[in-house]
Amino acid sequence: MKFVSSYSTNPIVVSETKEKIILKSNYPGEYSDSDILPLYFYPSKINTKNTLLFIHGLGTKNIEYLKWFPKQFSKLGYNAYLMILPYHFERTPKGFKSGELFLKPDYLRERFEHAVVDVLTSLNYIKNKFNDKNYLMGFSFGGMIATIAAAYFKVNGLSLCVTGGNFYHITWKSFATKVLRVKYEENKECDIEKCKKFHGKDFYKYLESINSPDISKDSAPMTCYEYDPLTFAKFVSAPTIMFRAIFDIFIPKRSSLELYEKLGARNKEIHSIFSGHLTSYAYRNYILKKTVKFFQKYSA
């Protein structure tokens, strides 16, 4: 089985209204609640075929304020969509909190794969509907998923906000992944020193050795290599703009910079904002304007 490419990304519409589209998720997850794939639609106020797909991050309360981005893009000439990630919000199985099922060490590869398959399915739906320029934007964890998806789908532009790669930094240096650290320490599967060693020379040799994002399961020296955004970064050819928060306690500085350095895009920019991870939302107008200007510059 190859990562992502072993699954269909053909969009199958379950229901469709002016504001919300429900697709069938093509990934065989273990919870029926995530078999549906919701897309919130914000049609452009201008006659256009330019589209943007927005991917939110982990959490239980971020969806409402992150809807601001696709709403604003719709006013600026983009038919904008917001995709709900597996195991989040209305896709959350009963008895769990939104996003809780994502951070399970034994299932991380499957969770990432499920999310990427859903993004590719959504992009194909949008492409079939408008058949013009497609853009992708991801916030935090959604930026990791968007990075991987852009290695498979040739979007016209990519915007990544407060995100990064390299699971050594993300697992052991981030405030958000404490639950993973506890699990690893409990089952003695990994610790900070082991992880640091695994993400040293051998990791970078592996990144240099691969020539396709189609990675077979259990083919990498470490399983986590197979779904790390750094693994896929060099296959991203779309013009990419990144934003990193200077005081980010969720995405370490090195994590963001490594992802930016590894991106294969010929045209790319990175901007630092004077905020923390969550307070980066205060810079939403700056992020929006910079992204739109960047997309327009390289839209040809």
Instruction: Write down all domains in the chain, each with its CATH number in brackets.
Output: 13-297 (3.40.50.1820)
User: How confident is the model over 269-292, as a mean pLDDT?
Assistant: 95
Whether the per-residue pLDDT at 61 is higher than 80: the answer is: no
Whether residue 170 contacts residue 58, with contact meaning beta carbons closer than 8 Å, is answered with no
What is residue 74's three-state secondary structure?
helix
Instruction: Please tell me the distance from the alpha carbon of residue 60 to that of residue 58, in angstroms, as a whole number.
Output: 7
Where do the H-state alpha helices sit in the chain? 63-66, 68-75, 108-130, 141-150, 167-173, 178-187, 192-198, 201-209, 229-233, 253-262, 284-297
Q: What is the pLDDT of residue 53?
A: 98
Whether the per-residue pLDDT at 206 is higher than 80: the answer is: yes
User: How confident is the model over 168-197, as a mean pLDDT?
Assistant: 64
Q: What is the pLDDT of residue 82?
A: 97
| Confidence class for position 200, pLDDT limits 50, 70, 90 | confident
Tell me the pLDDT tens digit for each residue of 34-51. 999 999 999 998 888 899
If DSSP states are collapsed to H, E and C, what string results for 143-190? HHHHHHHHCCCCCCEEEEECCCCCHHHHHHHCHHHHHHHHHHHHHCCC
Helix (H) or strand (E) holding 135: strand 134-139
Whether the per-residue pLDDT at 138 is higher than 90: the answer is: yes
Tell me the pLDDT tens digit for each residue of 94-125. 999 898 888 777 788 999 999 999 999 999 99
- Which of 54-68, 166-180, 251-265 is predicted least confidently? 166-180
